[in-house]
Structure 1
């Protein structure tokens, strides 16, 4: 699909061309279209373009731009932000962009949604990001090659609601100021090289609902890190080096639906507060050193709360990994699609299998293997 036949449409403001095979013509920079677009959606099926559409250099009123999956293979187009007066949303996922993340030279208070995931960016996240993009609400930078630490200035973006830095090469400690970001609801730092202990009172001032910190090098006890995180729906701390016990404060997370603590070095018994979490539908405690009897609880099938201020974005971005019988199942999308799963495998649990588990008619995955359980398989199974 070529856009040059549209150049004479002087009143054109919105163009939706997603899902097509985009052809970027090799025209001259001086070939200026008569239209001034406000929204342009060219989300393609992965075709190559080699360069940004040149007519974009002549657009100055752009508010929303989506070039997802167009293989451009260039640097970050900071000129797109600089040239337009009121840019609000910019989607550049999987565009084969590379080099450093180049911020615009001046502050742009209108840009609220920036997604540059699945590219080849490298280097550190610029410390000037708060000064140049002070009103960001959603920032997705996953699946790149960013390194270094998270800049302190990000903590000053008080409007930030969703923040995804997963699958990069970031290191250092997870900064404690993240817990003071009052608008933050979605945080994904999984798949990096973060080390050290979890920040104390991680969610004291925030409205955190989704926390993904898996596949890092976090150490020490979970302790009181999420003591005040009453709003959390999903907590994934799997594949780290966490030690100690699962503290009694877990019972304070009354809205918790997903709890993934697998592949750590946790020990002790399951606290009695855990079975009292009425909304819990998925729990993975596998590959730890937990002991004692397996406690039984009824797992709720209450519908998942859908109140988040960044709309449908969370449905597409929620992701977690569940491993059973050495088969890793990665889920991404709306968690309403998934059913109850319990994995207590590869621990030191003893005693008999509680017969009440057989009454969980919604259960889809139950893994109790590689423990020291005794007795018969309950007839309720």
Structure 2
């Protein structure tokens, strides 16, 4: 096919090495697109003879592993577009292999391996790039700086150097030199110093992402004037100080503003919110902002993400927030908001994530809160009172219901079983009472259940073993809106021969996510409260029923709960009976706390086979017999795990079992007990009373039948009384004489 101009076999599932022969004959090839396959090995050396080639796309194959210098790509002097992203090419850090490519305009080398090259090999490029992306290429290099050839680039439209651990002063010169720049992405590096904007207006700039560095100082006061057409501004995770500049009010096209995790303070400028009516995402979390959130009804009708958590905002939640009909995320946790939960929130039919935790909200949750779209509902650590609202009844999408640390009263409603998708239920530290309803057992996707520190009574439901049955359940990840970034699709360039009048770079589309909202919950395990968020929640399974008034025996079925469970806490209740041997089935269990109950019998020796246990506590019960063998994890548990059980013995207790009375070999006729002590204390007390009364009756009967024994008995009593009287009188006189002599 010697007349072939375009060879495009992208995303065809091809694999193996490229053929070494045949390329030399394709002298007229201008475009080669082999992207999104599974090719491996080296680039055929004969490709170096394709002198007419202006587009080469080898991206997303993952298995090319050649040293790019040996590939002879530098011979392709007509090349304008080169994409080798997402492979294992070894690339020199100075990119000196490009020195002969005078026509190069687009260079995409993301996700490869940079090899350190001496600075003495610095070179001056003969090309002017329009698009340059070098993302996540610092596997073998630390504290590297941006390639020096970028100092000679003046026509860049897109530059992305993110995720490279680049070091040194922030390269403000990139913004200054490239006056036609549109996309500027340098996030997740180690740049320091201030962020300085150019002196003249740059109307082309649409996207700036400098988040996750070590930038300091104030945000430039004229930023909104220099970049009037900005749509995406991301400056999170730095060390910026001061307030939001008033010039932000000029950013009338702004869609995304992320300033979280800085040291910013002051109030939110009112004119800024009035002007930014296209705003879709406002992320100001983890700063020192104060004052009221918004004091006026702003026209933020496009807002989808509102994250103002971890600040010092105060006042009541505005009722007009219900007019923001596109809101999907509201995160206002850890502020000083007070008052009731606004009924107007019920209007938000698209709401997915609501977090108002750690404030001073009071009252009850509006019953109109029945939106089927809500997946994450967190109002923990407030002052909410009254019974659990029926607002979530029949919500088949709810994944998290967190109402812990409030003043809720009443019982758990039976309709709780209708929330079939629920995976996290946290009701800790309220004033809930009654029995634990068996309807909880219908929640088969539940992997964290915390009912601790309430007033629940009655038995533990046997059917709780049904929860966490879906051990392969994987909670959905929380992602933000796709609104700008570093993945490129260059359609018009591929079709430039057909649409020659079209700007070859107008087809570049960029995608990146708004700062992720990680669901975060607190759960006590291993004797401490831990915070779990993001992907780790996928692996956390636990049940905490501690600090209640639960009674009865531990159901044997509880030892058959999902083998993925990692924490089980039944401490500080009134539970009696033995410890089930079935607990030894919980191979992934890391924390087991049964302390401060009325458990009796032996500790099942099978528990010593639980190799994942980090915390084991059975203190302050009525357990007896030897402690489990000191092997596996049980070699790490000391006396504190067993204290308060006087009939236990073992090396941890400094009480050898050979010194204790051997347990009875007689079988104990106790229905349902597994193991037992050598003497039941209840039986002992009853037997003692019966024996005492029997002996007393025998003595009385004998004295009644035989008058002689009766007289002898009373004479003996009389002698004893007289003797005691004389003893007291004598000693009293001696004491009186001693006191008299002392005073004389």
User: TM bucket by the smaller chain?
Assistant: 0.7 to 0.9
Alignment partner of 2:419 out of 299, 319, 325:
299
Aligned equivalent of 1:23, options 132, 140, 144? 144
Task: Tell me: CA distance 1:87–1:127, structure 2 relative to 1, closer, same or farther (3 Å).
Answer: same
Mapped pair 1:380 → 2:463: yes
Structure-1 residue corresponding to 2:79: none
Deviation larger for 191-200 or 10-19: 10-19
Number of the residue aligned with 1:41: 160
Change (3 A) 1:275 1:362: same
Q: 1:75 to 1:265 in 2, by over 3 A?
A: same
Q: State the Cα distance separating 1:195 from its structure 2 match.
A: 1.0
Q: Which residue of 2 aligns with 1:283?
A: 401
Equivalences for residues 327-342 of structure 1 within 5 A: 340-342=423-425
Task: Give the Cα–Cα distance (whole angstroms) in 2 for the partners of residues 39 and 104 of structure 1.
Answer: 19
Do 2:172 and 2:196's aligned partners in 1 also have CA atoms closer than 8 Å?
A: no
In 2, are the aligned partners of 1:250 and 1:274 still within 8 Å (CA)? Answer: yes
Within the candidate set 356, 368, 381, 2:451 is matched to: 368
SS at match of 2:458: coil
Q: 49, 56, 64: which is aligned to 2:183?
A: 64
Q: Find the aligned partners of 1:164 and 1:184 in 2 and give their Cα distance.
A: 11
Change (3 A) 1:34 1:356: closer
The structure with the largest helix share of the pair is: 2
Once the two structures are TM-superposed, the CA of residue 38 in structure 1 deviates from its matched residue by 1.3
Distance of 1:374 and 1:38 partners within structure 2: 67
Q: Which residue in 1 is equivalent to 2:361?
A: 242
Query: Contact 2:282 / 2:305 at 8 angstroms: preserved in 1?
Result: yes
Which residue of 249, 252, 269 maps to 1:134? 252
Larger RCO (alpha carbons 8 Å, 6+ apart): 1
**Residues 182, 3 of structure 1: CA spacing in aligned structure 2 closer, same or farther, 3 A cutoff?**
farther
Deviation string, structure 1 residues 209-251 (Cα, Å, up to 9, x no partner): 1000001111111132513222211100011111111121222
Give the deviation of 1:57 after TM superposition. 2.7
Q: 2:374 aligns with which of 256, 260, 268?
A: 256
Alignment of 1:10-159 (within 5 A): 10-21=127-138, 23-24=144-145, 33-34=152-153, 36-52=155-171, 54-79=173-198, 82=200, 84-102=202-220, 103-104=222-223, 106=225, 108-131=227-250, 133-156=251-274, 157-159=276-278
Which secondary structure does the structure 2 equivalent of 1:278 belong to?
Answer: coil
User: Is the partner of 1:222 in helix, strand or coil?
Assistant: coil
Gaps of 5+ in 1: 302-338
* Cα pair 1:299 1:340 within 8 Å, conserved: no
Q: Distance in 1 between matches of 2:294 and 2:446?
A: 37
8 A Cα contact 2:201 2:227, kept in partner: no
State the alpha-carbon separation in 2 of the partners of residues 376 and 136 from structure 1: 57
> SS of 1:366's equivalent?
strand
Aligned residues: 339
Residues 333 and 357, structure 2, Cα contact 8 Å, conserved in 1: yes
CA RMSD of aligned residues (A): 2.5
Distance change in 2, residues 1:249/1:220 (3 Å): same
Structure 1 residues 25, 111: closer, same or farther in 2, change over 3 A? Answer: closer
In structure 2, do the counterparts of structure 1 residues 25 and 210 end up closer, same or farther at CA, with 3 Å as the change threshold? closer
Task: Give the equivalent residue in structure 1 for 2:519.
Answer: none
* 2:318 is the counterpart of 1:199: yes
Residue 355 of structure 1 is matched in structure 2 by 438
Deviations 1:54-100 (A, max 9, x none): 454321121111111333322223229x5644111111012211111
Q: 2:684 maps to which residue?
A: none
- Residue 40 and residue 272 in structure 1: after superposition, are their counterparts in 2 closer, same or farther (change >3 A)? same
1:278 Cα offset (Å): 2.9
Q: 1:159 to 1:300 in 2, by over 3 A?
A: farther
Closer, same or farther in 2 for the Cα pair 1:25/1:378, shift >3 Å? closer
